[in-house]
Structures are given as structure tokens and as C-alpha cells.
Amino acid sequence: MRMYSRIGRWAAVLLVVSAAGERGLCQAAENIDQLTKTIRAVEPKGVGHREAIAAWSELAKADVADLPQVLAGMDGADDLAANWIRAAAETIAQRAAGQKESLPLDQLEKFLADTKHSPRGRQAAFEMIVAEQPAAREQLVPTFLNDPSMELRRLAVAEALDKAAALVKDEARQADAAEAYRTALTAARDTDQIDAAADELKKLNQPVDLPSHFGFVMRWHLIGPFDNREKKGFDVAYPPEKEIDLQATYPGLNGDVKWFEHTTDDAYGTVDLNKAIGKHMGAIGYAYAEFDSPTARDVDIRLGCINGNKVWLNGELLTANHVYHAGTAIDQYVGQGRLKAGRNQILVKVAQNEQTEDWAQRWQFQLRVCDHLGTAILSADRPGKTQVSSR
């Protein structure tokens, strides 16, 4: 009886210890969540800064086994908070390295594989894995070819381009090289990698449709010029902002104006209004396009424009930028909207000022429709449409 009593007492002790351990783990997890929540609450102007500093100090002391949970704190965080949380995670990893502790690689790989997590958090997990286990890079990078993290995807595309470059050196493997470059182009979202793949495909006499890859709108109806002298026309709602009547004629800057069709053949979708409408100073031009979508969906409307500009989708103003000649680039301005099923209306207002310097003469824009990753979304009625993968 005494032996059984002793065993019973030990069992009771083990149960208490086990329960305490579970409570400790739960408390640790809850503590990490609360600390990252405090850090995510910090604002650029300093609101919550003191609390965030204290929370960061505690978070950086977390156990190395908690790294995946710390990185998960970046989910939904803005850039400022994400930087703080990543710094805490790196502090934990560096401390573990100094103490010869292993990182929880299995858990970090599971975190990395879950694309629902923040791209920045997953990037940090990848770097930690590779720092401790360099050989993992060779296995992991090819899996990022269609990854929602642009940083991870870029690594995979770079590797795909290298593979293609090696193949093209073998005269007997030109078809394989072309296929490899095509794979890289399909996955690429960064302009430099897109250009690199496209250039090599052209050398191999392969067709390349850059406008479709990017999702540039090529067919427009244009009208103008309207008055923008002294830059006063930017906020004037000229008739195209009130109605779209492609048969109408309106008073313009130098007389009546009416809509006309225009299709650009520029590989990057640039519409040169100086050539299409005519060279005017202190002028407003409008471009209108119809976009056919099989389903309702969220989209990015991305604009490159060196002039003042506004963009509407189905009458909703998505972006307005009263800036002149400050440079231009693909995706310079990003408006987020929602396509409806069926016909959609895209309207662009492009404002030219009255500067006379040579560098201030451009009057142009480019516009593309894509998802939040930059993957092209093409109108269902686009001629020769070849829809890019939505991944």
C-alpha cells in the first residue's frame, strides 16, 4: 500500500508539473502576442513609442523556440512595426548562435511554407534557415517561383535565368533554353528580370508579348485638349468626368474637340499625347477604355505618368497626383479598385503645364491592370489575349 501511495504521490506531482508547464507555455505564447500587438500599435509620430520600446526589449528576450511566433507578429504589421519585430527576431537568433543553440528549423520551414504569413516574416525565416543550414537554399529557392513574396520570387526567377543562360550555351539545347527563359518570364514581376528574359527570348527568335505580360491597356479613346493654363484645369470637371459619350463634341482649349480611337504599339503601353492629340501647353487630355471582366474582382490600376493625373474606375476616383515632370516609371502610382462582372470604364486625366524647358515637353502615360502581386489581368475582349498566370 505504501508503494502505491508513493507512486500516486509522484504521479500527482508530475501532473502538477505538467499542468504548470502547459500554463507556462500558454502564458509565454500570450505574452509574445501581447508584445507584438503593442509594437504594431506604434505610430510614426511617436504615439505608443515608449510602450513599443519596452515591448521590444521583452520580445527580444524570447526563447529561440518561439521564433516562428515572433515572426508571425509581422502579419498585418505596417513597415515601421515590421522592422521592429524583425529586429527582435534577429536579436533572438543571434543570441542563440552565440550560445550554440540550434534554431527550430522544422518550425521555421513550416512558417516559410505558409504563404498566409507576411512576406517579410517569411523572408526573415528563409534567411535564418539558410544561415544555419546553407544547403537548404538549393532546395528551397526553386519552390518560390510563383511565391506571393516578391523578394523570394525574385530569388527563384534569378536562378531560373541562370539555368536558362547555362542551357543557351549548348547549341543542342536551344529549345530547352527557350522553355527555361519562358518559365522565368512567366514568373517574373520585376521589370529588370522581365526585360532580361524577354531580350534572351527575342535572341532565340521566340515571340514575346510584353504588353500582355504586364497587362498594359493598349486601346483607348482620346479627347482633348481642354484648358489647363496656370494649372487651373486639374480640378475642373470637364465633360468626360461627367459623362462618357463617345459621339459627343465639346468646347476645348482651341475649339471643339471630340473622341477618337487610338491604339499604342509601344511595348510598355506608353500613350504619347503629343503625337496623338497634338503638342499643347497648359492642356488637359482624357483617355477612356472599356475593360471586360468575366467576374467581379479586386484589382490594382497602376499608372506611369510624368504629368499631373487622375484615374477613375467605374466613376470612382482611385488616384490623383497634381505633379509635373518629376519623373515617370512603371507602377509609379497605384490605385486599388474593384472590377464588376461585365463592362468596366477606365478614365484617365493627363494634365500638361506650361513649362518650356526641353525636359518638360513630354505629355504621356501608361496604365496597366493587375492583381496586388503585379500579375496581369487582361480584358476578356483583348485581341490575341493570352492571359498570364494569376499566381
Q: What is the DSSP string of 242-268?
A: H---TT-EEE-SSSEEE-EEEE---TT
Residue 132 has pLDDT above 50, yes or no: yes
* Nearest to 321, CA basis, from 345, 360, 348: 348
Band of the pLDDT at 29, cuts 50, 70, 90?
low
Residue 82 has pLDDT above 90, yes or no: yes
Q: For the segment 85-102, what is each residue's pLDDT rounded down to a tens digit?
A: 999 999 999 999 999 999
Please tell me the distance from the alpha carbon of residue 301 to that of residue 333, in angstroms, as a whole number: 8
213: CB partners within 8 A, 6+ apart: 185, 194, 198, 376, 388
Strand partners, 338: 298
47 Ramachandran zone, left/alpha/beta (phi>0; psi -120 to 50): beta
Q: How many CB atoms lie under 10 A from the CB of residue 347?
A: 19
Q: pTM, whole model, 2 decimals?
A: 0.83
* Cα torsion through 117, 120, 126, 130, rounded to 10: -160
Query: Taking residues 260-288, what's their average pLDDT?
Result: 97
Residue 8 has pLDDT above 80, yes or no: no
Band of the pLDDT at 343, cuts 50, 70, 90?
very high
pLDDT at 43: 80
Which segment of 77-81, 118-122, 335-339 scores lowest on mean pLDDT? Answer: 77-81
